């Protein structure tokens, strides 16, 4: 692993957090990093919902079975896209743009000492409906994912999942 890329290899899904809150400045840093992501034709269709209220974090676990760490995480960011702002109003571009922003949040969280875990919402209808209801999303706003955030209570080892067999040169 190239040591210059260590922060990428150190980014791992963290599911156990301390009870230390994440301060507002750090959350804003993560959002600034998110909005530095590339976006098709610079349309920036993303929107972000910051969640720090314990009741809301717990409520989200009712319809997101793989998000139980939210019961412990002190914060989360939910990423949604506005279909009207997506390039060509196409869902595929919206999903790509939001995914780039999500990855920036995950890497920025690692860089500032936070743990994070990407929580899939789209395309699961029950999860999308739950997020829509909890956050009162307006028409045309598509929930893409959530990100659990907090100071890690565990430190997974850095790793890569590089597989030479997945690399093709010039043709398949």
pLDDT, residue 138, reads 98
Residue length of the chain: 172
- The structure's pTM equals 0.96
Query: Distance between CA atoms of 113 and 18, rounded to whole angstroms?
Result: 12
Domains annotated on the chain, with CATH: 13-154 (3.40.109.10)
CB 45 within 8 A of CB 97: yes
pLDDT, residue 4, reads 94
Render 79-95 in DSSP notation, one character per residue. Answer: EEEEGGGSGGG-HHHHH
CB 43 within 8 A of CB 84: no
In the chain the beta strands, taken as DSSP E runs, fall at 46-51, 75-82, 115-120, 141-150
pLDDT tens digits for range 31-73: 999 999 999 999 999 999 999 999 999 999 999 999 999 999 9
């Amino acid at each position: 692993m190239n040591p210059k890329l260590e922060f990428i290899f150190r980014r791992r899904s963290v599911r156990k957090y301390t009870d230390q809150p994440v301060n507002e400045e750090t959350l804003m840093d993560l959002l600034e990093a998110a909005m530095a992501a590339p976006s098709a034709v610079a349309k920036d269709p993303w929107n972000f919902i910051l969640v720090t209220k314990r009741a809301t974090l717990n409520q989200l676990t009712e319809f997101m079975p793989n998000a139980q760490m939210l019961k412990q995480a002190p914060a989360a960011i939910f990423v949604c896209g506005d279909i009207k702002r997506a390039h060509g109003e196409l869902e595929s571009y919206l999903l790509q743009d939001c995914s780039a922003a999500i990855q920036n949040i995950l890497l920025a969280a690692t860089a500032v000492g936070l743990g994070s875990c990407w929580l899939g919402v789209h395309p699961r209808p029950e999860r999308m409906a739950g997020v829509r209801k909890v956050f009162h999303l307006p028409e045309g706003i598509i929930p893409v994912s959530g990100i659990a955030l907090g100071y890690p209570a565990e430190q997974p080892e850095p790793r890569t999942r590089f597989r030479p067999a997945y690399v093709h040169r010039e043709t398949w």
